[in-house]
Structure 1
């Protein structure tokens, strides 16, 4: 599915948390704005928000059940992106030039079928 970006979006975390399935991840807090996301630290010490579906537990040390990166996608208003996977109000998206990352669903027009 493709959609049009309603407003510019810029990366907030430039060295995002990332891990592979089976790695140990430390979980601290749950986000109040995006309650399906947990503040987690990867094995290399990078911290960031992780959707709970990527982890076996939601407190303390837990195991990653899927590969994950919190990389966000820099994109401009009006740009068409491919929507790949939704998680807690965010979409893993890709541009036609091969870049990919997360975008907030509130910035994406899902109502129209972009050309």
Structure 2
């Protein structure tokens, strides 16, 4: 697994994360201005959040999720070391030393070169 050092602190938004399951039908709205790969997604329950558009079978309107997704973001501080699990739309699913996991923007981290044994 890749490791990275936080170079810009990241703090999750105040609202609760949402989860989409493969096969869920949602309504897609506007694209995010700062993160154009993300689309405002409204769940059947009426709650919404930003989710990568590549997760869905179409670009707008009613769409079906092609995979599971959780919008949880990870609070980080400069200098913190993270383990990176996967990348999507310029964000990394990361884990800190306490075992907490969530998304962090790629622009907030720098990769750590692993020394070969």
Confirm or deny: 8 A CA contact 1:24 1:43 kept in the other structure.
yes
Please name the residue that 1:106 is paired with: 107
Contact 1:31 1:38 in 2 (8 A): yes
Matches within 5 A, 1:56-75: 56-75=57-76
Where does residue 97 of structure 1 map in the other structure?
98
- Unpaired runs of at least 5, structure 1: none
Specify the SS of the correspondent of 2:11: coil
The DSSP-based 3-state class of the residue aligned with 2:26 is strand
Q: Secondary structure at the match of 1:96?
A: coil
What CA distance in whole angstroms lies between the structure 2 residues aligned with 1:89 and 1:8? 16
Deviation per residue, 1:66-110 (Å, 9 max, x gap): 111111001111111111111222111111322111101111012
User: Is 2:20 aligned against 1:19?
Assistant: yes
> Mean alpha-carbon deviation: is it higher for 12-21 or for 56-65?
12-21
Change (3 A) 1:87 1:99: same
Task: Give the paired residue count.
Answer: 114
* TM-score (ref. length: structure 1): 0.89
| Equivalent in the alignment of 1:36 | 37
Gaps in structure 2 of 5+ consecutive residues: none
3-state SS of the aligned residue for 1:53? helix
Distance 1:104 1:52 in 2: 16
Aligned to 1:52: 53
In structure 1, how many angstroms separate the alpha carbons of the residues matched to 2:12 and 2:107? Answer: 15
SS at match of 2:39: strand
> How far did 1:63 drift?
0.4
